[in-house]
Amino acid sequence: MPIPKFCKAWVVVNGFAEISSIATSDLLLLLRIHVLWGNRREIVIGTLALYILSYASVAASGLAAAIEVVPHLRFDPLARQCFTDHKPKVLPVQWAATLALELFVLFMTAVKVLEHRRSDQILTPLMKALFYDQLAYYIIIARELDLAKPNSPSGLRNKA
């Protein structure tokens, strides 16, 4: 059965939307880092360079993944959905690039938390929000990664 053209287009559009969403989220996190570090020039330039490098890698590997997945697409007429069970080989590259960026942002946040833990500056509502909301974000992400592990006691694959 031939793959409908909209399935091929959907893979590209969906991938672009996903990458754009994550890139926007990471850019907002970088803006928070810039505030936490007092908009220091070297921090702004360094983090933006890392961001551009990371998402150039994500875009390139995403394009490679789309090219790899398209021949494996199927269409289910009953469900009226496109699907595949093929896992692109470049998928780990995409996640490694964003994970590296996010770990760097977590590290930068943690350094500032430790630096200001005893100062009056951390007691202001804005600084509390910048520090603790961002750390809460990473705790939630870490918890979600734990759920996705196949051998995790709380893993989704173990629920069946």
How crowded is the C-beta side of 141, counted as CA atoms within 13 Å? 15
pTM for the complete prediction?
Answer: 0.70
Average pLDDT of the chain to the nearest whole number: 78
Residue 48 pLDDT exceeds 90:
yes
Reported as a single tens digit per residue, the pLDDT across 51-76 is: 999 999 988 988 888 888 888 888 88
Reported as a single tens digit per residue, the pLDDT across 92-127 is: 887 788 888 888 888 888 888 777 776 666 667 766
Residue 154 pLDDT exceeds 60:
no
First to last CA, the chain: 32
Nearest Cα neighbor of 58 from 8, 31, 22 is 22
Residues 27/51, Cβ–Cβ less than 8 Å: yes
